[in-house]
């Protein structure tokens, strides 16, 4: 209904996919993401977080994962607790940046 609204979505739209984009280069290794969403995030020995799901796309400096609406909330929490806001969430259909 409010597709054109620029208001941030804090609740997933049923059936919608979301893209979680992680700027690994900016991670300072606090581990708050892992504490918030351990099924999606883990801190590695190099002091950087990484996605847990195997389907995540990974390079040395960035990672990306497409998630379903059911996994939106927990990933939003991980993004919100990251002190340097290197986890961003986009609406995969509209491209709207939802967080930060």
- Residues of this chain that bind ligand SF4 (CB under 6 A): 27-33, 43, 49, 82, 84, 86-87
Q: How far is the CB of 30 from ligand SF4 (least distance, A)?
A: 3
Residue whose CB is less far from ligand SF4, 49 or 72 = 49
Residue whose CB is less far from ligand SF4, 17 or 42 = 42
Q: How far is the CB of 72 from ligand SF4 (least distance, A)?
A: 17
Q: Which two tokens stand for residue 83?
A: 């002190």
**Using the 8-state DSSP alphabet, how is residue 4 labeled?**
T
Q: How far is the CB of 20 from ligand SF4 (least distance, A)?
A: 11
Residues 6+ apart with CB under 8 A from 31: 43, 49
Residue whose CB is less far from ligand SF4, 51 or 72 = 51
Of 19, 17, 6, 9, nearest to 70 (Cα)?
Answer: 17
Q: Which two tokens stand for residue 93?
A: 């259909």
Q: Are 60 and 50 in contact (CB under 8 A)?
A: no
């Amino acid at each position: 209904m409010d597709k054109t609204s620029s208001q941030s979505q804090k609740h997933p739209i049923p059936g919608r996919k979301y893209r979680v984009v992680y700027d690994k280069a900016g991670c300072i290794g606090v581990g708050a993401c892992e504490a918030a969403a351990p099924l999606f995030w883990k801190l590695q020995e190099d002091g950087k977080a990484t996605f847990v799901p195997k389907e995540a796309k990974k390079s040395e400096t960035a990672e990306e994962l497409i998630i379903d609406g059911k996994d939106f909330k927990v990933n939003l929490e991980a993004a919100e607790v990251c002190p340097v806001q290197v986890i961003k969430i986009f609406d995969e259909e509209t491209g709207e940046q939802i967080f930060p």
